[in-house]
Chain A
């Protein structure tokens, strides 16, 4: 199908218990992408992972764990790209400014942003509607 269009729009409470739900939705979308010539199971895992990492950043850093806040995200197929947007209503957490992990130093934290940058083709973070949006694009 040439004009296969998918857009999923999800809002969940600012709680880590929803990570697996969102990750699974991302995996299932990746598995439907017949045009993707690579390993679809690997793509599914990677989409699950970037959704989990970006949502965790929104929940813990941008929203500082406030359970009354909400995480809003969209997953869409636009032409030959898979586009994931994660909106936050917080002070922001600019992952483009996060340092690269020092592989020789065994730090417990700081690998999430590295993972997102490693697995996606484009990652941007900008102000949007009183909060921020993290946009991650994967070419299919």
Chain B
């Protein structure tokens, strides 16, 4: 899985450079986030701009990151959701859980 990870002041921006975030690759995103939490980096933005498809495992990995960040007084926010991906968050009511921004700048500025 291709993830581009950049530190922007206190926030880590993870860009998911994959067309799909699914049961095959979402474990890698989860592990990447766990590594960041171990390093004490608890403010995360995940940019899903390139992701056209997300399944329940992909959503589960994001929920895992959100719960871990929150438990450490941090936050995990999302940006760049394509319409079909956004509809998955709505179907599973997760759009009420995550803070979702149009682009990376808005998401980074919100911290």
B23 touches A56 (CB 8 A): yes
Q: Complex Cα distance A56/B56, Å?
A: 10
The contact size tier of chain B is 20 to 34
Chain B contact residues, majority secondary structure? helix
A106 touches B63 (CB 8 A): yes
Nearest-neighbour CB distance to chain A for B50, whole angstroms, equals: 14
B74 at the interface (CB under 8 A from A): no
Q: Complex Cα distance A96/B41, Å?
A: 40
B24 touches A45 (CB 8 A): no
The contact size tier of chain A is 20 to 34
Closest residue to B27 on the A side, CB-wise?
A16
Q: Complex Cα distance A125/B97, Å?
A: 32
Please provide the chain B residues from 1 to 60 with a CB less than 8 Å away from any CB of chain A in the complex: 19-20, 22-24, 53, 55-57, 59-60
Closest residue to B97 on the A side, CB-wise?
A106
Interface residues of A (CB under 8 A from B): 16-17, 19-20, 23, 41-42, 45, 48-49, 52-53, 56, 59-60, 101, 103, 106-112, 114-115, 118
**Among all A-B residue pairs, the 5 with the closest Cβ atoms:** A16-B24, A111-B56, A112-B56, A108-B60, A56-B23
